[in-house]
Amino acid sequence: MQKGASSNATPDTEQGISFFNDRKIRAVAYQIAALFMVGLLGYYLFSNTVANLQRQAIATGFGFLNKQASFEIGESLIHYSAADTYVRALLVGVLNTLKVAFVGIVLTVVLGTFLGIARLSTNWLVAKLAAVYIEVMQDIPILLQLFFWYSFFYDILPAPREAIEPFAGVFMSNRGLVFAVPQWHPVYTYIAAAGLAGCIGAYVLRKWARKRQERTGQIFPVFIFSLGIIIGLPFVTWLSAGAPHKMSVPQLVGFNFQGGLNMSPEFGALLLGLVLYTAAFVAEIVRAGIQAISKGQTEAAMAIGLKRGQILNLVILPQALRVIIPPLTSQMLNLTKNSSLAVAIGFPDFVSVASTTINQTGQAIEGISLIMLVYLCFSLLTSLFMNWYNKKMALIER
Amino acid sequence: MKLMKLLLIITIVLLSGVGFAGQTVDNVKAKGFVQAGANGDLFGFGKPDEKGIWRGLDVDTGRAIAAAVFGDASKIKFIPLTAVQRFTALQSGEIDVLCRNATQTLGRDSELGLDFAQVNYYDGQGFLVPKKMKLKNAKQLDGATVCVLPGTTTELNVADYFRVNKMKMKPVVIENNAELAKAFFAGRCDVLTSDASQLAGIRAVAPKPDDYVILPDIISKEPLAPAVRHGDNQWKDIVNYSVLAMIEAEELGITSKNVDEMLKSANPAVQRFLGVAPGNGKALGLNEKWAYNIIKQVGNYGEVFERNVGKNTPLKLERGLNALWKNGGLMYSPPFR
């Protein structure tokens, strides 16, 4: 068609295909049309909602966040009182959720790995006990387990005045577990710094030892030395400050214990329920991961004279982890999301604080959006980290 | 679960195309029953009995509305709602009226898009404590662990009260009424705070009711009233006058037992009230027999009070503020003309 075809014309137009039949242009057009429809639907939902809310004279927007919350929260990692704003109340909720999720994930992975290995034990009794545990825990809904543990805490344990004291300075009552902690002393900052320095030292030592082993073939006892540095450095710091050992011992004042550290029954029940439940799933994942490695590998490693620990550390685990990590990530996400069941047993997690906020302000749509946003962030951050870790593990293997 | 229910309700708000204003009564008539939100867990106010029949002061308030609209007090369905769900359920149109011991406040009346009808119970917040703690008044509660329902005015009042009196508290908030009471009876909290009427209801279902006392302090005003959506004036009038009719009937001395005789009364106020002299029904867009039906099928306010929460019930509540104005209470109805 075009006699003097310009150099930048596409081959299609050169062959005389019309604008509407161009495959690329069509594809782009479809995408734009689809996007437009989605946008239209979104706009319809949004404007419809705003119109409905306006007609019913319901307040909208996030302005309420800066108002005084006026309600108390049972436990908080940061200072909070009823005089603070809704933003701060919600932040308290986020931190409480993070607290239970973080501690829960760590404990779950430890317990789950232990159970998974026990399930494969050659000892008949140990293997069967682990199997029974896993089956039972997986089959009971988590909400029931939470109710069970919560009523265990407040029904079985006595009132604060008759608290059980299994060890000196540790009190168990229906107000939770209270235990003595060292009273604050400036040297603790330095001890923490020394501990961190110890960890860095151990990391450097490991790198050096590995290089040396590659060069000379000699094995350096990294584990013992690392342990020495990590524990020794803070210990020496503590000694050099005159070994302060004053304890903050909980004492019954009025209604409750003052001083020491308190773990509330709500937090205890939630943590226990989540860990025991999720660990059963993690155990199965660990078992599957280990069983995915063929027996021949273990036999081969034995044949070249590796010790049992070395077989696990150098041969089995690096390969098993590749199988374990992806499903483990989804269990971690499950635990975080299940922590929202806290609302049933009165632990002030994010959902609990957010639904109180919704009810006090009446702004349900804004509140639910915040809940969704926060859980989305939790999930994305967890999977981002686990994907990074997964990639790292995979690379080492190849 | 609960969150899912809230999400569902919000989806309804997002998708509902037509407004509710001015249409509730038509919708109610079209579907043939009133959909009411009730407590479900509060003895004396809203709770199904062992046969599954809903009982309580709030429930009877709902039945009065059904009697006014349909001439049949049974044309009402109740759904149990927690404190956290109740207002969203009303805002979204899932229920037509909320009869669930809700306190009228400025914020709820304005920002929440609600309208409150005539108060059907004047309450105040109190404290329930175990007898063995030997407490005399609420000022001795410094440092106490307090069981409280989340999302209520009581949750805010108790925080205010402790703040004003420079006392410390540790709240335990559980959304479910029954679970909260269970935790308190097991000793998880030193004190349970709520409206005084609720405390009586909770104490009535305690394993050993005599082990608990309600402290004399009343720290707030809690006018409990049925609520409807803002902006639907006709529906609000119907709900409002259904409650007022029960109060007016008590003042006129009309009860469910003598209402048929009263039809022959020569008193013009009674004649207007019962629709013998017509006008009131038409004004509200209802049958002229609407008030007669309420009193015949549900009873006047005094009867409803005594049946559900009065001296012969486990709650043993005095009329107090809820007596007629002539007897020193706050129950007062404008003239029915």
Question: What was the pLDDT predicted at B20?
Answer: 47
Residue B221, φ and ψ in degrees, nearest 5: -100, 130
On whether any CB of chain A is under 8 Å from the CB of B9, the answer is: yes
Question: What was the pLDDT predicted at A294?
Answer: 87
Are the beta carbons of B289 and B295 closer than 8 angstroms? Answer: no
pLDDT in tens, B283-336: 999 999 999 999 999 999 999 999 999 999 999 999 999 999 999 999 999 999
Residue A6, φ and ψ in degrees, nearest 5: -75, 160
- Which residue is it, tokens 């081959």? A11
Question: What was the pLDDT predicted at A248?
Answer: 81
The residue that leads in pLDDT, A161 or B147, is B147
**Amino acid code (one letter) for A168:** A
From B193's Cα to the closest Cα of chain A, the distance in A is 14
The one-digit pLDDT tens for each residue of chain A (398 residues) are 444 444 454 554 556 677 778 888 888 999 999 999 999 999 998 888 888 888 777 888 888 999 999 999 988 999 999 999 999 999 999 999 999 999 999 999 999 999 998 998 889 999 999 999 999 999 999 999 999 999 888 888 888 888 888 888 888 888 888 888 887 788 888 888 988 998 999 999 989 988 888 888 888 888 888 888 888 888 888 888 877 878 888 888 778 787 778 889 999 999 999 999 999 999 999 999 989 988 899 899 999 998 888 888 888 888 888 889 889 999 999 999 999 999 889 899 999 999 899 888 888 889 999 999 999 999 899 889 888 888 887 755 44
What is the pLDDT of chain B when averaged over all its residues? 91
Question: What was the pLDDT predicted at A5?
Answer: 45
Q: Where are the beta strands (DSSP E) in chain A?
A: 170-173, 176-179, 181-182, 247-248, 251-253, 256-258, 261-263
Q: Which residue of A has its CA nearest to B103?
A: A360
Residue B13, φ and ψ in degrees, nearest 5: -60, -45
> Looking at domain B2-122+224-327, which of 3.40.1190.20, 3.40.50.170, 3.40.190.10, 1.10.10.10 is its CATH number?
3.40.190.10
Residue B69: its H or E element:
helix B57-70
Which among B145, B187, B231 has the least Cβ separation from residue A56? B231
Q: Do B15 and A48 touch (CB under 8 A)?
A: yes
For residue A395, count CB atoms less than 10 angstroms from its CB and return exposed for 0-12, middle for 13-18, buried for 19 or more: exposed
Question: What was the pLDDT predicted at A1?
Answer: 43
Q: Which residue of A has its CA nearest to B176?
A: A344
Name which of A345, A372, A377, A339 is nearest A358 in CA terms: A372
Domain boundaries, chain B: 2-122+224-327, 125-220
Question: What was the pLDDT predicted at B4?
Answer: 67
Chain B hits for A255, CB-CB cut-off 8 Å, are 141, 143-145, 190
Q: Which of B112, B135, B185 to mutate to test the interface with A (most CBs of A within 10 A)?
A: B112
Give helix B196-204 / helix B177-185 axis angle, nearest 10°: 70
In terms of DSSP H, where are the helices of A311-363?
317-338, 342-345, 350-361
Question: What was the pLDDT predicted at A390?
Answer: 83
pTM attached to this predicted model:
0.81
Question: What was the pLDDT predicted at A3?
Answer: 47
Percent of chain B's residues with pLDDT above 90: 77
Question: What was the pLDDT predicted at A41?
Answer: 94
Question: What was the pLDDT predicted at B10?
Answer: 67
Question: What was the pLDDT predicted at A246?
Answer: 80
**Amino acid code (one letter) for A261:** L
Residue-by-residue DSSP string for A219-269: PP-HHHHHHHHHHHHHHHHHHHTT----EE--EEETTEEESSEEE-HHHHH
Query: Which two tokens mark A322?
Result: 């590749």
Q: Where are the beta strands (DSSP E) in chain B?
A: 34-38, 47-48, 54-55, 76-80, 97-98, 114-116, 121-123, 125-130, 144-148, 169-173, 191-195, 212-214, 222-224, 227-229
User: What distance in Å separates the CA atoms of residue B148 and residue B141, rounded to the nearest whole number?
Assistant: 14
Are the beta carbons of A1 and A18 closer than 8 angstroms? Answer: no
On whether any CB of chain A is under 8 Å from the CB of B229, the answer is: yes
In this predicted structure, the answer to whether residue B150 has a pLDDT above a threshold of 60 is yes
Chain B hits for A59, CB-CB cut-off 8 Å, are 110-113
Domains B2-122+224-327 and B125-220 share a fold: yes
Query: Which two tokens mark A325?
Result: 């990590």
Tell how strand B125-130 and strand B191-195 pair up: antiparallel
Q: Which residue of B has its CA nearest to A348?
A: B173
- In the beta sheet, which residues pair with residue B173? B148
User: What distance in Å separates the CA atoms of residue A26 and residue A12, rounded to the nearest whole number?
Assistant: 13
For the ranges A161-165, A288-292, B5-9, B86-90, the lowest mean pLDDT is seen at B5-9
Chain B hits for A356, CB-CB cut-off 8 Å, are 84, 150-151, 155, 173
- Which residue is it, tokens 């603070």? A84
Name which of B88, B101, B58 is nearest B76 in CA terms: B58
Are the beta carbons of B161 and A72 closer than 8 angstroms? Answer: no
Domain B125-220: what homologous superfamily? Periplasmic binding protein-like II (3.40.190.10)
Which among A154, A340, A343 has the least Cβ separation from residue B186? A154
Question: What was the pLDDT predicted at A118?
Answer: 92
Q: Do A56 and B186 touch (CB under 8 A)?
A: no
Q: Which residue of A has its CA nearest to B171?
A: A74
pLDDT in tens, B232-267: 999 999 999 999 999 999 999 999 999 999 999 999
In terms of DSSP H, where are the helices of B172-289?
177-185, 196-204, 233-252, 259-262, 268-274, 280-284
Chain A hits for B156, CB-CB cut-off 8 Å, are 70-71, 360
Task: Please state, in angstroms and as integers, the Cα–Cα distance from residue B102 to each residue in A347, B63, B118, B227, following that order.
Answer: 24, 17, 12, 8
Name which of B164, B221, B158, B222 is nearest B190 in CA terms: B158
On whether any CB of chain A is under 8 Å from the CB of B6, the answer is: yes
Question: What was the pLDDT predicted at A137?
Answer: 95
- Model ipTM over 0.95: no
Vertex B138 angle, CA A85 and A155, to 5°: 85
Chain B hits for A150, CB-CB cut-off 8 Å, are 183
